Amino acid sequence: MNFIILTLFPDMISSMFGNGVLKRAVDNGGIAVTPVNIRDFAEGKHRITDDRPYGGGCGMVMKPEPITAAIRSAKKEFPEAYTILLTPQGRIFNQKVARDLLQHKTLILICGRYEGVDERIREEWVNDEVSIGDYILTGGEPAALVIVDAVSRLIPGVLGGESSAEEDSFSDGLLEYPHYTRPRSFEGAEVPNILLSGDHEKIRQWRRKSSLMRTLLKRPELLESSSLSAEDIELLEELDLRIKKVLQKYPGNDM
């Protein structure tokens, strides 16, 4: 899968792929990440990429000419590339969106700066608008890195174990179950006995129940959009009753 990232700061992108899983994915040919310096497509001696907004106001706006030239250059090699503008106005990025983007062989990610990009870029070139959250960043580069990371780990072979991505938090709409490793006892805290039992079905049930419990306590809104089995619903009802019994012991609790 190809990720073409249009940015004024290509070094911010390159540094992300020098280590770990993503470096191996690049080395193995699972993904290709190409930072493209928008300034290289600007005209004139000073390679200016921004200007004052029409109508007045504070800040600067990224000019349409360099971005358009950068997109056209990328589309010469990848004509079917799916172009994404990273903007606070876009749809919120989550695991479902990551899976949606996986269907495209090439993504062009436009990293805005300053007050944003000229509106004509959005109107003429953009297929999708994506935001990684309701907060303001100094530029789109961190958002681009988040998207590349999240989408890449869904590509078969990138993580090594084919089930790794399937078991991550949000992969099925729920938070992930707890993990333990050696030592068995650490400062008085023990690994749950069920994980040492060797009974794979009981371990599966424990993990699913733990996942449901965490989601119920920490992110209950996720349950509304999750695909729950009859077994899941039964476990949730049991967990809900237990929580209510505990809370009833505390004065002033009206549950």
Asked if 50 is an active-site residue, the reply is no
For residue 211, give the nearest of 177, 163, 171, 170 by alpha carbon: 177
122: exposed, middle or buried (Cβ count in 10 Å: 0-12, 13-18, 19+): middle
Give the whole-angstrom CA distance, residue 26 versus residue 87.
26
| Coil vs helix vs strand at 64 | helix
Catalytic residue among 88, 142, 176, 208: 88
Question: Quick one: which H or E segment has residue 85?
Answer: strand 82-92
Q: Residue 40 in contact with residue 65, Cβ under 8 Å?
A: no
Question: Quick one: which H or E segment has residue 21?
Answer: helix 20-27
Catalytic residue among 24, 153, 207, 214: 153
Asked if 153 is an active-site residue, the reply is yes
Q: Tell me how crowded residue 104 is: count the other CB atoms within 10 A of its CB.
A: 19
Question: Quick one: which H or E segment has residue 25?
Answer: helix 20-27
Catalytic residue among 168, 176, 208, 219: 168
Q: How far apart are the first and last CA of the chain?
A: 50
For residue 92, give the nearest of 20, 164, 143 by alpha carbon: 143
Catalytic residue among 24, 39, 53, 115: 115
Q: Residue 153 in contact with residue 167, Cβ under 8 Å?
A: no
Asked if 201 is an active-site residue, the reply is no
Q: Which residues are catalytic?
A: 88, 115, 153, 168
